[in-house]
Structure 1
Amino acid sequence: MKNIKFKHIVIAAFLGMTATTTQSCGDDWLDEKPLGRPIPGEGSSVGGFESKVFGLYAGLRQQAGVSDFSYVWTHCIRADDNEKGSTANDGAADGNVFNNFGYVATNGHIKNNWTGHYKIIFDANAVINEAVASGDTSQGTLMNIAEAKAIRAFCYFELRRDYGEIPVNLKTIVNPIDEIAPKNTIAEVDAQIIKDLTEAAVDLPNQWPSVYLGRATKGMANAVLAKLYLYQGNNAKALEYAETVINSGVYQLNTSYDAEFTKAGNNSKESIFEVQKTYDFATKYSNNFYESQGVRGSGAWDLGWGFNVPSTELVSIYENGDVRKKTTILTSGGPDIYNNAILPNGPNNPNPVLVQQYWNGKAYTALSERIFYGVNKNHWEDIKLIRYADVILIAAEAALQSGNAAKATTYLNMTRSRAGLSNVTATLSAIKQERRVEFAMEFERFYDLVRWGDAVTVLASKGYQDKNKYFPIPQDAIDKAQGVLVQNPNY
């Protein structure tokens, strides 16, 4: 059997795909290659349920709402560092929903976020329940169960921080009625996430062989546990699990911050968990996550749709000498840091207050790669869901809140040093600033503001109210549940 990288393995379990309700800019937003047929000679023999587990990884890339254009809206654009972007009229209704907190239960992206994550959860349930019922206790099958539990827990964590109280449903879905379940409390949701991750960490490997890059590991399970405990305010546990990852010796920061946000950064030593994409073979696995955020221009500069752009506030908050600024923020008419060129002026500037248009540098791509693939828009960079830098800064914050300022200072200065900045003594304000610039234009800022209790103040000018820490539950889910599932408060 020919071994190849996991990202190139053809998935053996077809996952249905829900079309997003908001299309934009004329490009296919989702790879529509048939993923239900294995290619002869490709695959592996690790675990009796491996092909079904591969389907879960495919779902992370292809299920609407999980890592695509909808994910950009739900996980990025709500922060103070992000603006809708594109042109004024393009996605204007969604801009009001996410940039100005005009949430509505009928919004398509909010629906995709819910249904997409639950689709993967239900597929994980089927794998876990079938594998357990089989009685197979071989190491391979135990690893398959652990992978499914880790992915299920990750999806529940995503839903928990987006909707608050949600149903914990561990059934194998046979009939549509099986999907209907009442809400659980946040404490109950957290308990299930912790159970899944602690059990998964027992059987997951520290690392997979290079032919299986991208699969869940002990580091992934422990990193999500550290983050969950930080959200709970359980700083001792957050520090414990963050240091478990740090002390494993598996991960390290890339020497170059730039390198993390290129194809060369895929599955690097800084990567703990990322969505696997490829454009190298005839069967291409991709989605529109980066395409929707690329520089919006014409001709050779038609690199994307121009959504999710840096705000003027973000541009102004970097310290002098912070190398992350040039990586994160590209300016129309300014230098292209990767390609020795000048970026074009932004068409139909979506914010007339801006003299220049800013673009998300983390969605950008090298000219050499565009030439190699014969495609302008980025379809080959993996989506880095959990980076080692996040674990380091979780450890810094948890250590500080636990009274160990010296340890917090050591961790804080690890990411500062990589950014070309001098050492400072850890304070909560310094850690908040560091998280802001380290993860700018990624997925953390909005959730950090909420858990710190800062969102009501920082986002007030955008229309944020305390109820907006959670989305409304999609109206379709409410209707389907016929009274079993109740809407979130104040919607």
Structure 2
Amino acid sequence: METYIKYNRKPYIIFMLSLLVIGFTSCDLDVESESEVDSEVFYRDAEEVNLALISAYNSLRDVMDVEFSVTEIRSDNTFLSPDSSVENDVDNFTLDRGTMVSSNLTNEQYYRVCYSTIGLANDVIENVGNVEDLDLRNQYEAEARFLRAHCYFNLVRLYGAVIYVDGSLLGDDALLLERSPEAFVYQKIKEDLIYARENLPSEYGEDEVGRITQYAAKGILGKVYLTLGEYPLAITEFQDIIDSGRFGLVPNYADIFSTNNENNEEVIFAVQYISGNLGLGSPFANYFAPGATAELLGIIGDGDELNIPTSGIVDAYEDGDPRKEASLAESYTDSQGNEIFFNYITKYFTPVDNEFDSDKDWIILRYADIKLLLAEAYLEQGRKDEAVTLINEIRTRAGLANLTATDIASTFSTKLALERERRVEFAFENHRFFDLVRTGRALTVINQNFISEFIYNDPNNPQKAAAPISDYQLKLPIPQREIDINPNLAQNIGY
């Protein structure tokens, strides 16, 4: 039986098999996580291990379903719909303002779906020995270890110290787990990504589009090194990707995200979606569309008005920057022909025939990211000229002039220019919050956003105000449900 990551030929079979695997694999840390189906019954050969691996890939959709709420909405890029009452969506409302509490359900959902993916990856790793072909066995393990590392990388950046699980848990063992120090978790992440880098192929056949390559491992590993301040190691990983010659900048920015051009030369790793009412479609066109007018934009069903662009990001684009039109809109025309001024994300729009069922992939890592991450590493190493060259390459693709002498008058001003470039280049791709935390700019930028953005200062809606946040609020609280079940779990300071 053939299987495809992109699901472009047998989506129904993949979907049903994924349900089978998810059905017998526990995704929680607070219940018995021993598989209900004995590994001797299911993980018997390469085909069945591959199906389990595909299920782990599939689970990334659940992660992405919530990730914008714990990243973009918490940054200065977006906020919850201005038309939403405080009581209407209290979980996203408090995430938006940094006032979330440990009982926040959106936060709990993200925590749990990340561990679900980790659990599925662990199942593959534990049973990959049943794959007879050594090269294929190493590849499957490398893919699973990448998925595990990717989730832990997000968890440790968002929560700090987290529970580290790298195998099956029997009975009450899950209730005895404690949080591991951040340094330990990062070391395990690096070990997984190094293994993935050394054991993944550089490319796949056309029937396996979307599988993780060694370059995806290099890219995320480089980002881990950058986050930890290990700049020479980060430079090596990023430079290897550039030197490979396998990737390039798509000339027209909008074409990067076109459903007619998916998995293009700029995409290094993306979560794959396919429409057709199969449970594999992307929901983001509906999530981000404005209210009941979504059908006027070619989207079936209502829009949820989540992730609304701030005036700050609207103003961050320079005149003539095509990335703005490809990423957001500032108004729409209603059914009476009136222009309604309302910011909304368009980057994930594509006409859909079924609600929450778009075909558009969500790109996790692309070549422009590698270029600008390398620029950041260069700046931290005092190599400003090389950094500026990389930034200008991205600006040239956007049809913009090179940075001015004022822009790069000092290392700090160059860092601010890079920060702005990354903001508009990766708008609404879930990078902004992590960028701000990594560079130590999060508190300054987010609190300034609370001062300058009208929604937080509307005299007619004082209940929507936002107060300055403190350092502890850059970390999410460990979900209260996990702490209630497992008394060994300590809460983050401040919650």
Decide: shared fold, TM above 0.5: yes
Q: CA deviation at 1:137?
A: 5.7
Stretch deviating more after TM superposition (300-309 or 190-199):
300-309
Stretch deviating more after TM superposition (294-303 or 177-186):
294-303
Q: CA deviation at 1:264?
A: 2.2
8 Å contact kept, 1:332–1:345: yes
2:433 — aligned with what?
A: 446
| Gaps in structure 2 of 5+ consecutive residues | 28-36, 38-44, 409-413, 451-465
8 Å contact kept, 2:275–2:357: no
| 1:399 aligned partner, one-letter code | Y
Q: CA deviation at 1:179?
A: 6.3
Stretch deviating more after TM superposition (414-423 or 79-88):
79-88
CA distance in structure 2 between the partners assigned to 1:135 and 1:5 by the alignment: 19
8 Å contact kept, 1:292–1:307: yes
User: What is the RMSD computed on CA atoms of the aligned residues?
Assistant: 2.7
2:411 — aligned with what?
A: none
8 Å contact kept, 1:47–1:141: no
Question: Secondary structure at the residue paired with 2:128?
Answer: helix
Does 2:368 match 1:364?
no
CA distance in structure 2 between the partners assigned to 1:452 and 1:15 by the alignment: 38
1:419 to 380, 398, 408: 398
Stretch deviating more after TM superposition (179-188 or 50-59):
179-188
CA distance in structure 2 between the partners assigned to 1:343 and 1:296 by the alignment: 16
Q: CA deviation at 1:289?
A: 3.3
Q: CA deviation at 1:377?
A: 5.5
CA distance in structure 1 between the partners assigned to 2:5 and 2:336 by the alignment: 36
1:286 — aligned with what?
A: 281
1:153 — aligned with what?
A: 149
Stretch deviating more after TM superposition (3-12 or 399-408):
3-12
Q: CA deviation at 1:215?
A: 0.9
CA distance in structure 1 between the partners assigned to 2:358 and 2:433 by the alignment: 26
1:475 — aligned with what?
A: 480
Q: 1:299 to 1:233 in 2, by over 3 A?
A: closer
1:31 — aligned with what?
A: none
Q: CA deviation at 1:248?
A: 1.6
Q: CA deviation at 1:402?
A: 1.0
Q: 1:175 to 1:248 in 2, by over 3 A?
A: farther
2:461 — aligned with what?
A: none
Q: CA deviation at 1:48?
A: 6.4
Does 2:128 match 1:131?
yes
1:272 — aligned with what?
A: 268
8 Å contact kept, 1:79–1:446: yes
Q: 1:440 to 1:387 in 2, by over 3 A?
A: same
Q: What percentage of aligned pairs have identical amino acids?
A: 29
Question: Secondary structure at the residue paired with 1:331?
Answer: strand
Q: CA deviation at 1:305?
A: 1.4
Map Cα deviations across residues 105-134 of structure 1 (whole Å, 9 max, x no partner): 1111100111111111111112112224x4
Question: Secondary structure at the residue paired with 1:384?
Answer: strand
Mapping of residues 78-117 of structure 1, within 5 Å: 78-85=74-81, 87-89=83-85, 91-117=88-114
Does 2:479 match 1:486?
no
2:454 — aligned with what?
A: none
CA distance in structure 1 between the partners assigned to 2:420 and 2:282 by the alignment: 31
8 Å contact kept, 1:142–1:203: yes
| 2:442 aligned partner, one-letter code | A
1:7 — aligned with what?
A: 7
CA distance in structure 1 between the partners assigned to 2:357 and 2:49 by the alignment: 32
Q: 1:299 to 1:231 in 2, by over 3 A?
A: closer
8 Å contact kept, 1:219–1:245: yes
CA distance in structure 2 between the partners assigned to 1:172 and 1:326 by the alignment: 47
Stretch deviating more after TM superposition (444-453 or 105-114):
444-453
Does 2:44 match 1:57?
no
CA distance in structure 2 between the partners assigned to 1:130 and 1:344 by the alignment: 60
2:309 — aligned with what?
A: 310
1:296 — aligned with what?
A: 291
| Gaps in structure 1 of 5+ consecutive residues | 20-35, 37-44, 336-340, 347-355
Q: CA deviation at 1:4?
A: 5.4
Mapping of residues 366-445 of structure 1, within 5 Å: 369-370=351-352, 374-375=353-354, 379-424=358-403, 427-445=414-432
| 2:435 aligned partner, one-letter code | D
CA distance in structure 2 between the partners assigned to 1:326 and 1:299 by the alignment: 18
CA distance in structure 2 between the partners assigned to 1:209 and 1:343 by the alignment: 48
CA distance in structure 1 between the partners assigned to 2:170 and 2:337 by the alignment: 52
TM-score (norm 1): 0.83
Mapping of residues 14-33 of structure 1, within 5 Å: 14-16=21-23
Map Cα deviations across residues 237-265 of structure 1 (whole Å, 9 max, x no partner): 11111111111222111111111222124
| 1:318 aligned partner, one-letter code | Y
8 Å contact kept, 2:281–2:356: no
CA distance in structure 2 between the partners assigned to 1:147 and 1:421 by the alignment: 38
CA distance in structure 1 between the partners assigned to 2:131 and 2:371 by the alignment: 39
Q: 1:408 to 1:342 in 2, by over 3 A?
A: farther
8 Å contact kept, 1:207–1:217: yes
2:189 to 190, 193, 201: 193
8 Å contact kept, 1:150–1:196: yes
CA distance in structure 2 between the partners assigned to 1:306 and 1:420 by the alignment: 31
Map Cα deviations across residues 173-228 of structure 1 (whole Å, 9 max, x no partner): 34353365211111111100000000111110111111111111101111111111
CA distance in structure 2 between the partners assigned to 1:445 and 1:283 by the alignment: 32
CA distance in structure 1 between the partners assigned to 2:47 and 2:278 by the alignment: 25
Q: CA deviation at 1:468?
A: 1.3
8 Å contact kept, 2:283–2:356: no
CA distance in structure 1 between the partners assigned to 2:151 and 2:440 by the alignment: 24
